[in-house]
Structure 1
């Protein structure tokens, strides 16, 4: 049988045509026609005060960290169960990282943990909407407002997901999206910094333009093009933006397919709950999610590896996910907080199933059948 990979990047159709158009226009280094088209789409479709494309989701997080203007001793609360970029962006700016545990019901950050970890030195909270499922913002936003904190949404996995009726990425002061090849909407690489608090808009553009006022100069708003602040090379190339534009044009079709696939898994694998295997928990406030990840929670780490091996023996690639950052080889010597048992649990038990646009209904049926065989055939 044909192998089933974990992920396969999808071409919606016009990607190569638009890349050719970008090449013909002769401006490849960024902030050309396709970059501006994508940014305008996000500002108009999402209502961001400003949207700035970046060369990765990591770069968008690094811009967010720069905008905080962190000082020595400033603390940033973030989940331990996340990718390294969520932490590195703020560590590189000198922040003291304060790792929080996940919720017992879901890999997302537990609001009670944020309340427990707040100190007078806390400057910001970084949320990760794991699997495109919203964090409990009803519980978190009062804490943010009460303590006058900056909220940053790591929405790398959460394009077109909602908290109630609000799109994820529009709720925090700043938000970062990713268009990595594993994401629903992809450009191979690429990212977006979404600015919802207008206080950050002008400076964000300067950081984006390598610390210069070049964009304002080209708009005729200043007489000189000068170095005015810190910054770096955050812009993606026009080739990346052209690819992304093709995906954005077809975003609804892509999203609809991902959700169909997610719900197929949910229906086919529902009996696993009767033997103690966990399926994704979707809170009512996060019902409108984007189907980015379908995962199972095995009953032990040994069982998880056996399931992965079982699927691999039939040419199907399933993978585990994050290892807790607080207990990583890099950070473990510096961590002085308590155990984070839920982050450890997800790290040891969670397995991600193949999910990508071109995964057929028959292929999904094959994956589900082999999983059911694993649990019920003995």
Structure 2
């Protein structure tokens, strides 16, 4: 059974800064103007809330932004992922490889669409899916590799595409590479390409905490595969006239706001990157903390600001640091993300017998203190000071007990 790992400090009532931002981006007068315009025109019974003109415009803007051939908007990133997997018609023996450190959503989607989830280790710097370990677990039954740009650190898709080409499925050909970019919208890959143009399909989420948001929910799939794009458009709209489908359309007001948010995404991401880099400068020299990797060129968007405590602090020491930050300094932090099979009953049952020791050890060292680009300089300085002091407090405790 899963261990239900703690994801918030026990002393949450003492927090001055929450464990995570409730909204990742932010709205300006332009978003408010877009909402007022849609409200005004949709109040006419002749016009109503038909979304198509707005979703078409949003999709066109998104293809232009990413450079992908197609963009298909959905009501959420989760439903978009499910429909991509549904397209594959997974049989129970069909395998989908994904990193064990992950948000539970993609793993639940694999299970829900009938495939076998195969877990692989993260590489130790970015905690993205490790290519070498993916090659260890790939098999003739592999239908897909599901790569997550974890916490805003953009992975290189090309080695996984090459790996897939070297290990074709005997019926379906090379496994497809599905990219979960829920936390990396607007980022760039090591080739300089926008996230969303490499891989068979890329899923974006616009849930409230994401880098841009469309009224708290929403998603897009980008792909260069015309057949996939056509099928996704049917699946989200009751299947057209001949096929199964359901209602997963993005709403008119979500699309209107999304157009504005997308136009501002680079500026919002730049502000987040700058804030994260200043925090890294402020925390340099703390021997007990491994700071996030500095990836240039928009390759790290810092959806979370990841810290790793020393190996000897794994588990209990990490929890102690989170609780000192909360109880003494009022700073919230979150474990984003635990190993999925240790924290979710369905995944644990489905992945029975699978074990990723590197993932478990890294996740036990991980904490993500609150970060948002709109924090005041004073708040950010206080948080950095708290991290430095709390780490020293825990280090003294560990030295005293050694």
TM-score, length-scaled by structure 2 = 0.84
Counting only pairs closer than 5 Å after superposition, residues 140-151 of structure 1 correspond to structure 2 as 140-146=160-166, 147=168, 148-151=174-177
> Matched residues in 1 for 2:110 and 2:247: separation?
17
> Matched residues in 2 for 1:28 and 1:366: separation?
49
Which whole-Å deviations, capped at 9, do the CAs of 1:234-269 have from their partners, x for residues lacking one?
Answer: 112112222222212222221121111110111111
> Matched residues in 2 for 1:82 and 1:2: separation?
26
> Matched residues in 1 for 2:270 and 2:341: separation?
36
Task: Please tell me whether residue 70 in structure 1 is matched to residue 90 in structure 2.
Answer: yes
* Equivalence for 2:105: 85
* Equivalence for 2:8: none
Measured at CA, do residues 280 and 195 of structure 1 come closer, stay the same or move farther in structure 2, by a change above 3 Å?
A: same
* Equivalence for 2:226: 198
Deviation at 1:161, TM superposition (A): 1.2
Preserved contact between residue 8 and residue 356 of structure 1 (Cα < 8 Å): no
Using the TM superposition, name which of 254-263 and 287-296 deviates more: 287-296
* Equivalence for 2:252: 238
Stretches of structure 2 that go unaligned for 5 or more consecutive residues are 1-13, 169-173, 397-402
Preserved contact between residue 47 and residue 170 of structure 1 (Cα < 8 Å): yes
The SS at the match of 1:167 is: coil
Q: Which runs of 4+ in 1 moved over 6 A?
A: none
> Matched residues in 2 for 1:282 and 1:77: separation?
27
> Matched residues in 2 for 1:57 and 1:309: separation?
32
| Aligned match for 1:366, one of 382, 385, 388 | 382
> Matched residues in 1 for 2:351 and 2:263: separation?
45
What is the aligned-residue RMSD (CA, Å)?
Answer: 2.1
| Aligned match for 1:3, one of 12, 16, 19 | 16
**Count of residue pairs brought into register by the alignment:** 361
Deviation at 1:352, TM superposition (A): 0.9
> Matched residues in 2 for 1:239 and 1:3: separation?
33
Deviation at 1:29, TM superposition (A): 5.0
Which whole-Å deviations, capped at 9, do the CAs of 1:156-205 have from their partners, x for residues lacking one?
Answer: 00111111212222111111001111111112111111122223122121
The SS at the match of 1:15 is: helix
Which whole-Å deviations, capped at 9, do the CAs of 1:256-308 have from their partners, x for residues lacking one?
Answer: 21111110111111212x23x21113467x76322322111123222222222
Task: Please tell me whether residue 297 in structure 1 is matched to residue 297 in structure 2.
Answer: no
Measured at CA, do residues 335 and 243 of structure 1 come closer, stay the same or move farther in structure 2, by a change above 3 Å?
A: same
* Equivalence for 1:320: 335
Preserved contact between residue 111 and residue 136 of structure 1 (Cα < 8 Å): no
| Aligned match for 1:207, one of 217, 224, 235 | 235
> Matched residues in 1 for 2:96 and 2:130: separation?
15
Task: Please tell me whether residue 348 in structure 1 is matched to residue 364 in structure 2.
Answer: yes
> Matched residues in 2 for 1:162 and 1:372: separation?
31
Counting only pairs closer than 5 Å after superposition, residues 16-35 of structure 1 correspond to structure 2 as 16-26=32-42, 31-35=51-55
The SS at the match of 2:249 is: coil
Stretches of structure 1 that go unaligned for 5 or more consecutive residues are 213-225
Measured at CA, do residues 113 and 282 of structure 1 come closer, stay the same or move farther in structure 2, by a change above 3 Å?
A: farther
